[in-house]
Structures are given as C-alpha cells and as structure tokens.
Amino acid sequence: MTSSNGNSSLSERIVAAPLEGGGISRANLFEGSDAAASRATSYSMRSGDTFNGNLSPEGDADWVRISLGPGVYEITLDGRGNSPLYDPYLRLMDASGTQVRFDDDGGSGLGSRIVLSVTTASTYYIEAGSYGDYYSGAYSLGVAAVDPGEVLTMDEIGEQLTDGYWEYAGVSRRSFDVAQGGALNVNLAGLTGAGRRLADMALSAWEDVLGINFNRNPGGGTAHITFDDYDEGAYSTSQVFGGEIISSFVNVSTSWLSNFGTDFNTYSYQTYIHEIGHALGLGHAGDYNGAATYGVDNSYANDSWQASIMSYFSQVDNTTIDASYAFVMSAMMADIQAMQDLYGTTSIRTGNNVYGEQTNAGESYATIARLLRNTDTRDDITFTIFDQGGTDRLDLRMDGNNQRIDLAPGSISNAYGLRGNISIAEGTLIEDLLAGRGDDLIYGNWANNQIQGGNGNDMIRGLAGNDELYGNSGSDTLIGGAGNDIVRGGGGNDTIYDDNGADVLLGGDGNDIIRGSGGNDTIYGNSGSDTLLGGAGNDVYFVDAGDRINEGANGGIDTIRTDLLTRLGANLENLQLISNTALDGYGNSLANRMLGNDADNRLYGLSGGDVLFGYGGNDTLVGGSGRDRLVGGQGRDHLAGGGDNDIYEWRSGDVILEGVNGGIDIIRATSTVAISANVENLVMMGTSVMHGFGNDLNNRITGNFADNFINGNDGNDILTGRGGSDNFVFNDGRDIITDFRDDMDTIRIDNALWGGAPRTRAQLLADADVIGGNTVFNFGNGNTLTVNGVTDTAILMNDLIII
C-alpha cells in the first residue's frame, strides 16, 4: 500500500511477519502436604516455575514464597486436571505478608492474572485461592518474566496515525476540508464489479464512524477520492497542500483480489478499508512502510490490527496481546480516535441500535451480521462497535462457543471461537446483551444493563447500574453488583449473588443458591430445593417446597412469603401467607410480624412481642408469650394473646380468649364492643359513634372523637371521652372521668348505688365534694366517682342523668 507526501508518492505495502516469542519453564513443582496460608509456608518457587497444588476443603488457600529481581513478571492462576479449581482468585503479598495486589478473572477464562513490575529485588508471597473462598480443586500457579514494551492508549495510537507517522515520513498531518454531515465525492468507475463491491462497503465502514458521507455518483463533480485497479499491489496517494488533502487515489489491483479473495471476510476487504484510511489522512500505526517485523519495527507493545486497521501486524504477529487471527471488518478503536481528531466528533447513531446478529445499525454492520449468522464464515472476522447514544444491544445469541464479553467502553471481548475479536470503542456505551449458547463469562458496565445468557453455564456480572440479568438455561453464576438489580437464574442449578442495592433475586427451575448482601432484597427460590441467604438488610423471601433459608444474626428485619405451612427459622422475623389456602404459621423467639391470607388461618406467635394479622377468613391468632398485637381482620376470628400485655384489634364477630393473669391487655375497636373477660382496657378507634362497655376488672376505656357511650361497669375504671359529646355511665367501683366537658358530656348515675330511692340531681351535687381540684361523688360502700378538673359542682347540674 502507498501514501503520498504532497505531490510525490511514498510506496508502502502490508507484509505479514512470522510469529515469534515463547519461553521455557524452569521447573514443574507439586504440592505435597497442604501449603500454609501464611508466611510459614514451606513452599517456594522461582520465576519460570510452575507450582501445581490443590485447595481442599472449600475455602482453603495456599501461599508460595518467591524472590524476584528487577523486571516485569506475569503471575497466572488457573484450574487444572479433572477436578479444576473453579474461579481461581489470586492475591500477592509483600515480604511482611501484607496484600499488595489481587486479581479475579484477569487471565484466560475464569483464571486470574497479575502483571507485576519490580524495581528492587524483593520477596513476595503468592496466594492461590478461590472467589469468595467458596471453591476447592486443583490449580496451576505460574510465574514468568515478560518484556512489557510500552503499551499505548488508543488516543496515543491515534496520534501516531494522524501525526507520528507523517513526521516519520518527513511531512505533516493532513485531512480533507469537510465538516460533519458533509460529503466527499468518490469515483469507483475504474474498478471491476468485485472491486467496486468491496470498495463501496469499505466506504460504508468509514461512514459508520466518520459522520461524513461518500457520494458514489457525483455526476460531473470532481472526485475527491478516485479508485482504480490497473496497477500492481495496493496503495494510496494524496495531493496535499498546506495540510489539506486536495484529492486522493486508491489502487487495489485485480491480482490482489485474486490472491486474497473477493468476499467481505477477506484480506482484500480489509485492504480497501486500510487504503481509504490513508486517503482520508491516516498514516501507519508505526514508523514502518512496505514491510515490518514485530519485535523489531514496532515502537510500542500493542501495535496490531486489534487496535488499528492501519497496523502492519496481525493479532498473531503481535506476541503481547491475547487475540486470534481475524480479518478486520471496520475501523478499530485507535482509528476512530484518530478520525475524530481529524474530522471532529460525530453524532451518528444516537438512537436505540442493535449490533451483532440482528443489527439495525447500518450497511457495514449488516454485512458483519450476515457473516456472524453464517457458521462457515463468521469465525474469522473482527470489528469495533461505535455508537453515540440511545439504549443499545449486542446480539451474539447464535454463537455456541464459550464467550467472554465485556460491555465497558474501550473493552475487547471473545466470541465465535475467537479471542479478542469484538471491541467497543472508547466513549461507546452498550447497555444490553444477548449472549451465546456456550459457557460464557460476561461483564456489564455502569449503565442499567439488560444481560441475557444462553444455554450454557454462564457467569454474568452486572457491575454498577440497575441491571437486569437472566441466566437462561444452564447452571449459571449471576452477580448483580452495585445498584438495584433484578437477577433471574432460569433453568439449571444457579448461584446468584447481589451487592448492597435493593435487589430482586429469582431462582429458576433448579436447585439454586441465592445470596443477598447489604441491601433490602427480594428473593424468590422458585422451583427446586433452593438455599436462600439474604445477608444484611431487610429481605423478603418467597419460599416454596424444598427451600432452605440461612439467615444470619443481625441480618435485618426479614420476611417470608409462602403458600406453605411454615415455621420461622432462626433470625427470621416476619411471615406472610399467600394464596387462598388455609395455612398454619408459627413464629419463633423474635418479635414476629405474621400475616394470614383470605382463608381460615392459624397463626402462632410463640415467644417474642409479635404482631399477628388474620386478614380474610375465620382465623385463629395465638400470641404466646411476649407483648403481642392481634388483628383479626375480616371474618369471625378467635384471638388469644397469651401471658403478657397484649393488644387486640377487634372487629364485630371476633372472639377474644384471654386467660386469667394474662397481663394488662387492650382492645382496640371501631364498633360497639364489650371488654372480654380478663381483658383490662379499651380504646375506641375510627370516627364512628360507639358504645364501649367494661367488665368486672379495673378498666381503662378511651373514646374516639365521636359521641361515645362509655360504661365501665364493675371495677375501678378510668374513663376518657376524648372529643365529641360523650355519655359516661357509673354504676359501681371507684371510677374516674378524666376529661369531662361541661354542656357537651353527660354523666349517667345508676340509682342502685343508693338502693333505688328517689334522689334529685341537686341532692347528688349537695353530697359531692371538691378535692384537689376534682369533683368527687361518694355513694358509700366504697363506690366513688371522680370527675377530674371540675372545681364547681354547680356546672354539673344539667349534665347529670339518674338512671
């Protein structure tokens, strides 16, 4: 390929270089007796060694000592053998045993990897463990010295494309004078049909990131870029004046197409994208031209097609990246950064777009989608997704290989049997994912992701944001991460974790393990024999047959909702019976809150200060020991508080069963009620006119704000009307009216107090005394009525009624 310097041409061609590199392991070591997880470990290794060990039982960890001199080292931890360690977790300690680094899933698959730069010779301890200390199995720990080179950012590689290469060539940067949304004329008349097809699609690939259109039919207008195929090889030249490209010429010969193919998944198509990049002002990704060898001609470590289509090095030419050989189908991340530098930031594709198999994102992405759907062609291409807004989806559902997908901007993913073949441009946020049918490892980003696994055994991590994760078929591991997430297991025996948000965690058809964390979570076991762990926070469990709840002490105020007969386990506070089936519910020693359904339930609070709600149906509520509150709800309910100070929320038709010496109890009622045997107190609720009757105990009766009728009956009662025009009845004992109001309230006095002989109100008042600011009527035989706050007996003349 060639590019120009002003009016003179500079020849340049892409030549593939052979793969070089490799290393030799110094020793293959094996664990005998269990390695200590401390500086007391008896095992050590050197750079170049491989240490093979085994973690057993679950939660085990091994430490290995190593001394390293100045340099850069790669430390890897992977499962091995027939019983490999699942999800290895790598920690690095300094000579004092203090952790200095850790990694999870940074290596191949679920393997872990740390790249360590050592400036001064030091001793370290490497810990081989598992994620969350949950797993056991065999592992392989390797340490090897590496030549890190210099890894450039995509912006830095972009600067090489726009400026660095041209400075190397002795000229300056260049670009067309065209604004965003503008157009450049192109002339494809000199190409064969096959060449025109490739060139046209390559132009579309650049349109998908540039925000500039290419006019393929300019009429009589002057062409900015002219294509031909008459000359040998592939190159581009440009006429440049003062940094402005006046015109460019692209040649890709017919023999080039004969050698490298005419389909889109070929080096010929990649060549057209490359040469158009030159025509638009991009140089090479390194200071080379015509031929280059990786390890000799590259000036930084990550110079490859994975970063830029303008590189001379394929993914396998570059020995420092982990990527499979694949032809490039789009501008890559550094190319996009460079073009934005030359032509400004585009605002294309700001709506809701789909990338991958069912794309709606434009012609070049549609070509990629057709190749991905075709199992004969899809596994040899790579591309970058560039998007500027909306809620977008990556669709990889037809892939049966094990995927590793990362939705973070600037990330690189593995799919369709390849490594490092799908990139997401920096600044591009993809919210949703349909993963494939293999055993996939998936990471979300900080957006509100919707991620759906396929048929394999997937691990999905939502990370930040309010995510929706769905494992689908297979035995999946789903980790919601930060935010308020909805996590669904689907089929298989799934393991579900959350973080500190208020999450909804749903098992599926298998025997699932669901672990909440610090937030207020809602957990559904669904089918299967599930293990549910809410963690801290106020959690709600939906439980069916076979489920087991492990709730720790001080784990918040938790609730079980179920359609089964249920006994609350340790550290569980609340129970709600759902469905319309007659069920029994049993509390525990905590202060339980128990709710029935619309059927005839029996709720037993047992010990603790419980609150029992019957709701519909004819329920039986038994508080047990502790200060309980019993609310029958609709229906004819039986309420039994037990042996402490209980509260009964009474409705008409309820029966209260209170034992002798069962505490000081309260009835709260919204309609006329007589205090049941062995119950002391009554509070009238609501706004309706009510009658309240005491019993032979010392009652405290309190009205509402309506016009109440209050009769303490026998015993020494305390009567309070509150608002309204109340009628108080006195017939026995030592009663007190606390809030009498003149000309509103009425006091009815039973003449049986003096044997029924006629007496007038004046006679009653004449016998009344004012004692301590209160009016006191003394009827003898220990029967007195005290009206608090009344200091002038005369005001009672019109308020007394003798009955």
Q: How far is CA 586 from CA 246, 416, 642, in A?
A: 85, 54, 15
Cα–Cα distance between 595 and 631 in angstroms, integer? Answer: 9
275 is catalytic: yes
Instruction: Specify the residue for token string 């085990």.
Output: 60
Cα–Cα distance between 339 and 346 in angstroms, integer? Answer: 10
Task: Say how many Å lie between the first and final Cα of the chain, rounded.
Answer: 118
Is 803:752 a contact under the CB 8 Å cutoff? no
Nearest to 592 by CA among 574, 613, 607, 615: 574
DSSP symbol at 162: I
Hey, what are 670's tokens?
Answer: 């919204």
Task: Pick the catalytic residue from 159, 275, 426, 658.
Answer: 275
The beta strand positions in 254-367, using DSSP E, are: 327-328, 354-356
Hey, what are 690's tokens?
Answer: 């009510």
Instruction: Specify the residue for token string 């048929």.
Output: 455
Contacts of 195-198 with C-beta under 8 Å, sequence gap 24+, read 195/227, 195/229, 195/252, 195/254, 195/257, 196/227, 197/262, 198/252, 198/257, 198/262, 198/264, 198/268, 198/269, 198/272
The beta strand positions in 257-388, using DSSP E, are: 327-328, 354-356, 381-385
Determine how many CB atoms are found less than 10 A away from the CB of residue 683: 18
Residue 214 CB contacts under 8 Å (≥ 6 apart), including other chains: 183, 184, 185, 186, 203, 206, 207, 225
Q: From the CA atom positions of the chain, what is the Rg in Å?
A: 41
Tell me how many degrees the CA angle 723-728-734 measures, rounded to the nearest 5: 120
Q: Strands 122-130 and 62-68: what pairing? A: antiparallel
Hey, what are 2's tokens?
Answer: 């060639």
DSSP symbol at 587: -
Q: Strands 62-68 and 44-45: what pairing? A: parallel
Q: Which residues are catalytic?
A: 275
